[in-house]
Chain A
Amino acid sequence: MSIPTLSQIAHGLSTGHFSSEEITCDLLADIVAKDKQYNSFITITKTLALVQARAADQRRSQGRAAPLTGVPIAHKDIFCTRGIRTSCASRMLDNFVPPYESTVSQRLLDAGSVCLGKTNLDEFAMGSSNETSYYGVVNNPWDLDAVPGGSSGGSTVAVAAGLVPGATGTDTGGSIRQPASFCGVTGIKPTYGRVSRFGIIAYASSLDQAGPIARTAEDVALMLNVMAGFDQQDSTSVDRAVDDYCAQLEQPLKGLKIGLPKEYFGPGLDDGVAQCILSAVQDYERLGAQILDISLSKLPLSIAAYYVIASAEASSNLSRYDGVRYGYRCDQPTGLLDMYCRSRAEGFGTEVKRRIMVGTYALSEGYFDAYYRKAQCIRRLIKNEFEHALAQVDVIMGPVTPTPAFNQGSKTVNPVGMYLEDIYTLSANLAGIPAMSVPAGFVSGRPVGLQIMGNYFAEAQLLQIAHQYQKVTDWHLQIPPHSSQECA
């Protein structure tokens, strides 16, 4: 029993083993039959998918196929998709059908991929457990009681369960890597500015970055090849040539210098997780890498800096949801103020409101310097520390999370406890460097991800490092007990 990877599906399409329409029909049937137990999709775009699949088959028959032509994928429901409801898992946008397309989804559309639907997430991408969605909790296929992680939990679950071979995600503080780790799939958060943010519903503008989620590093590379690139419509997009992320996958790792920051292995790290990571590091040694101990002493500060910056930017980014031009408006407002306050109170969920409150406070008169400005200074220190470390080593490795996936409901009472779970992922967003999660073992049947962080624009190198590891391990090919059967 196996679940085909995105590369295998792409290969099957190119060799004519099956058509896009066939694989699309199969996967749609699977989603309909099996997603009730996961709740990984908010919207299934069946009709559209079949139209796109037939168009892809036609394109292939005309000899105009690109690497992703006819390959089914899904989008986190944070990417605006023209004519398809884009909810951001919020009541606020429950009825929102954008008349425009995000750059990322447009690029994937232009490459001929087929969109099966929009995946679940934490409301406005705020959360680490996918328990804050207006459309309900997402269940982890490895253990239905466990959270899938968040915020891109719907995408990682859909991939892990074999409902779709690849999906898009966004990562503001670990929202691709953490759920990828919890679900045993591969995901990358590229360098800030590498992938356009245009048309992605903003959480924290200076931290948000979109990336692909799939089973293997090779799959991820195929998707990133299409997603990455300069976009005139995003001022923070970087005008720099995009590497071919598949080109260097097969290069050996001999001489690679890997840094292990001692702070990533300190108190709070689950023993089982630590063993998985250290075992993976040994695998890398066998592949010819050299291991160096390093220090990233600012790690503990990343939580404070992150929650201030992210909340502050979110409080402002989410002011546009006011019930005037689109989205939710409360019934029978008694006046303008009432319309604002009730529409927003009723349209947003608890965690979103909490972060808006924190951010509003942090920016309010008299506190800006102590909070936002201070956090940005610390952000600089964190970036400096990474630059210093990455001058000594090629990449930095460590765990993605302190523990494997926790049980649903176990951390919802105490928000701070939940925030502390993100300690290993936040600093890559603060510094803007690329980072990924690669399946590296299991603890009590729940997956563990290895985090690989690299220098700015070193995505090709990270993917090469992950791919070489996946050639000698099969963690990424394990099939969750509750997943779908072979479908191709």
Chain B
Amino acid sequence: MSWEVVIGLEIHAQLATRSKLFSGAAVTFGAIPNTHATLVDLGMPGALPVLNESALKMAVQFGVAIDAEIKQHSVFTRKNYFYPDLPKGYQTSQMDEPIVGQGYVDIQLDHSRCKRIGVTRAHLEEDAGKSLHENFTGMTGIDLNRSSTPLLEIVSEPDMRSAAEAVAYMRKIHSIVTTLGICDGNMAEGSMRCDANVSIRPVGAVKLGTRTELKNINSFRFVERAIMLEAERQINLLEAGGVVVQETRLYDSEHNTTRSMRSKEEANDYRYFPCPDLLPVHIDDDYIANIRAQLPELPDQRCQRFIDVYGLSEYDASVLSANRSMADYFEVVQRCCNDPKASANWIMGELTKYLNEHHIDIADAPISAPQLGQLLKRIADNTIHGNAAKILFEALWHSDDDVDKIIVNKGLKQLSDVGAIETMVDEVISTHVDQVQQYILAPAPRRDRMLGFFVGRVMQASKGAANPSQVNKLLLQKLNRLN
């Protein structure tokens, strides 16, 4: 039997506010434990929450960006359960009346296909603290700095049919929230994490299979792997005559497996009810219209502009526009060198290769966009050639020096003086008599390959500065004359 995987994602995006959702404590990462937790975040007796206006605005921005219905009336609900990192004994969230209703995003599947994924809803909620399971004399330590940090939970429809689609969807949401500036998108720090609901069904079946929920996945790579693993596990289970149990599972990236979290399952009765310390949130048409009017250019719009204005291919445009930092970087490079295609190639090629090798985000790239732009400009005006450009790129990666200064210091400037190159060519020919002899005797097809040897020697002699096409031309002329 062939199976179809059905996936829905719940993405938690930490909103980039200064203070917390319900308190004036700073939102931080990696601070000394419990130093950014105030009365409200610690659930002290008599503490009361007041809603952060930025968090509300950001939620609405997101809703508008995915063309969703924005609810003028929304309600905060308490989700009651006991857990040491949940100080009040309840999480303040939105249940029946979320701020953002039904919307959608389009994802690019490959070079030509596009798919629309439904977003069921997005709602505001507070994050919990962190449990640290390192050994504190056999106890668990609780850090509540993260308590009450604002999250936007974005719930998709079960519209995805492969791990790749799920990743594409998640990347799209990532690019939207980072473009809007409502989330820093830093997955390593947990600013964006997701739960995946995975089920399988026979191809053609209408009814959905029993789903499992994979909790707290914090990278694109892990989303893909976890979903593939889980789908495989379910298929093996069903094909062996077993049944899928509805449960919460944890993806273990170290061992690349998923395992059941039964402890979280027992007696789930969250006793939801509207939070009596917070009142219904009301926003009017003007508020929404204002946000709509101030929305920045979104990834889809930018992608189209890259195609229309810069003449990029659909694929290049979609890759560059998928990440706000990358798109910004591209536009700066492009403006410097006025060569969109070369800019795209260098960013998606050499730069991305270096960034991946060093695990650096493009926003923190050691080579600034103006530097890369200047580099491309020097290629275009024939100051340097391809090889020297790569040496220059490497140098720029390690230093903040000016592009032109490095070109001078490293002697990368292309040698175009025919006389000087000719001298070097003559020198190489006269000192490699044997090789010249072999070249002359060789048949024409083999000569092409043998030419490379001489080119290499001349380039060496010029310390890489000679214009390779000029070297080629001169060598051919002179060797063929010896014939």
Q: Write the residues of chain A forming the contact surface with B, with a CB cutoff of 8 angstroms.
A: 79-80, 86, 88, 93, 96, 98, 100, 102, 197-202, 204-206, 232-236, 312-313, 315-316, 318-320, 322, 324-326, 336, 340, 360, 363-365, 368, 372
Contacts and interface: CB of A to CB of B under 8 A. Distances in A.
Contacts of B78: 316
Contacts of A324: 84, 87, 142
A319 B90 contact: yes
B207 interface: no
Contacts of B51: 235
B269 A233 contact: no
A205 B82 CA distance: 20
A204 B269 CA distance: 21
Contact of B273 (A102, A340, A363): A363
Contact of B46 (A80, A312, A340, A363): A80
A204 B89 contact: no
Nearest to A88: B45
A249 B50 CA distance: 36
Given A96-B45, A100-B44, A320 B87 contact: yes
A235 B277 contact: yes
A485 B43 CA distance: 44
Nearest to B142: A324
Interface of B: 39, 42-51, 78, 80, 82, 84, 87-90, 140, 142, 144, 269, 271-273, 276-279
A93 B82 contact: no
B411 to A, nearest CB: 66
Nearest to A320: B43
B37 to A, nearest CB: 9
B46 A236 contact: no
A205 B42 contact: no
Nearest to A93: B45
Contacts of A233: 48, 50
A201 B46 contact: yes
A357 B4 CA distance: 46
A326 B45 CA distance: 10
Nearest to A78: B46
Q: What's the dominant secondary structure at chain A's contact region?
A: loop
Given A320-B87, A363-B271, A372-B273, A232 B50 contact: yes
Contacts of B45: 80, 86, 88, 93, 96, 98, 201-202, 320, 326
Nearest to A359: B271
Contacts of B80: 315-316, 319, 363
Nearest to B78: A316
12 contacts: A93-B45, A98-B46, A197-B48, A199-B46, A200-B46, A206-B276, A316-B80, A319-B80, A320-B43, A322-B84, A326-B45, A363-B273
A319 B48 contact: no
Q: What's the dominant secondary structure at chain B's contact region?
A: loop
Given A324-B142, A340-B82, A363-B80, A316 B44 contact: no
A106 to B, nearest CB: 12
A234 B48 contact: yes
Contact of B48 (A235, A318, A372): A235
A14 B271 CA distance: 55
A236 B279 contact: yes
Given A232-B50, A316-B90, A340-B82, A325 B276 contact: no
A368 B42 CA distance: 28
Given A234-B50, A318-B89, 20 more contacts: A80-B45, A98-B44, A98-B45, A100-B46, A200-B46, A202-B45, A205-B276, A235-B49, A316-B78, A316-B90, A319-B80, A319-B89, A320-B87, A320-B88, A322-B84, A324-B87, A325-B87, A325-B144, A326-B44, A368-B272
Contacts of A199: 46-47
A355 to B, nearest CB: 14
B276 A313 contact: yes
Nearest to A101: B46
B89 A316 contact: yes
Contacts of B39: 100
A314 to B, nearest CB: 10
Shortest beta-carbon contacts, A-B, top 7: A319-B89, A363-B271, A205-B276, A206-B276, A320-B43, A199-B46, A201-B45
Nearest to B42: A325
Contacts of B269: 364-365
A198 B48 contact: yes
Nearest to A309: B276
Contacts of B271: 315-316, 360, 363-365, 368
A149 to B, nearest CB: 23
B50 A235 contact: yes
A197 B49 CA distance: 11
A320 B87 CA distance: 6
Contact of A312 (B140, B273, B277): B273
A324 B50 CA distance: 24
B457 to A, nearest CB: 74
Residue of B45, B78, B80 most packed against chain A (CB within 10 A): B45
A324 B49 CA distance: 20
Contacts of B88: 319-320
Contacts of A364: 269, 271
Contacts of A80: 45-46
Contacts of B279: 235-236
Contacts of B273: 312, 316, 363, 368, 372
A462 B51 CA distance: 34
Contacts of B47: 198-199
